[in-house]
Amino acid sequence: MRIAAILLAAGTGSRYGTALPKQFVSLAGRAVIRHAAEALLPHVSLLLPVGDAAMLAEALDGLGAGVIRPAVPGGATRQNSVLAGLEALDRLPAAEKPDLVLVHDGARPFVPAAVTRRVIEALEKQDGAIPCVVVADTLKRNRDGLIAETVSREGLVRAQTPQGFHFPLLLSLHRAAAEAADATDDAALLERAGRAVALVQGDEDNIKLTYEEDLVRLERLVGPALMPRT
Ligand code: CTP
Ligand code: MG
């Protein structure tokens, strides 16, 4: 089985406060995207970053020789960026084309190896698989600062990445859905097509950098020993 990963880094990070897109922000002395690439590399034979080629070349310099490919430009939405990555994988010579593809948020630096392994294993039986964590808190709907209602959390989980799929299936679903490219994850395209997607155990530490306060939580996970000297 050939496994490729698409590493997404083409977003602008509008919910994050800095001009530098969040996936290039320094976390414990390395770019967030570099942590994400290091976490995925042991699991794949090919890693394709999507985003600005010069910034990615610098952030990933010296990593994964022969495995990390030159970046391809992304699109206006996450879904557009995934399609750009899938099309680039489809242009590879037949001998290099993947059987399975993992799609991972470049802003999610610390995916544990066990999570990635569970996703890949689930693809032996399912078309797609995603890591998730349970929702522990009581859920409320906010209407202008007042509670509108309590929403049942029964059966609700929070979706993470890497999400894994059989490559030809994900490519064809993305091509068919390219007109309305509003999906915030890839599993949504399989759901709409009536395909089964396995839920596997994710990890609370598999945090996506979304707001600036998330950087503090992520740095705490690294621990003081690995923090850069100032
Ligand atoms: N992403 C991408 N191309 C886009 C939008 C998002 O490659 N057009 C990537 C981001 O770089 C990120 C991942 O998809 O690694 C998850 O998206 P998200 O956390 O929403 O990042 P942004 O869209 O950049 O942030 P925001 O929604 O706050 O603008
Ligand atoms: Mg976004």
**Among residues 96, 107, 94, 105, which one has the least CA distance to residue 3?**
96
The question of ipTM being above 0.95 is answered as: yes
pTM over 0.90: yes
Paired tokens of 211: 């707001």
Cα gap 161→176, rounded to integer Å: 22
Q: Is the beta carbon of 195 within 6 A of some atom in ligand 1?
A: no
Say yes or no: CB of residue 159 within 6 Å of ligand 1. Answer: no
From the CA of 13, which ligand is nearest?
1
Pairing state of beta strands 46-51 and 3-9?
parallel
Quickly state the pLDDT bin for 181 (edges 50, 70, 90). Answer: confident
Establish whether residue 197 lines the binding site of ligand 1, counting it when its CB lies within 6 angstroms of any ligand atom: no
Tokens of 191: 């759901």
Tens of pLDDT, residue by residue over 67-115, are: 999 999 999 999 999 999 999 999 999 999 999 999 999 999 999 999 9
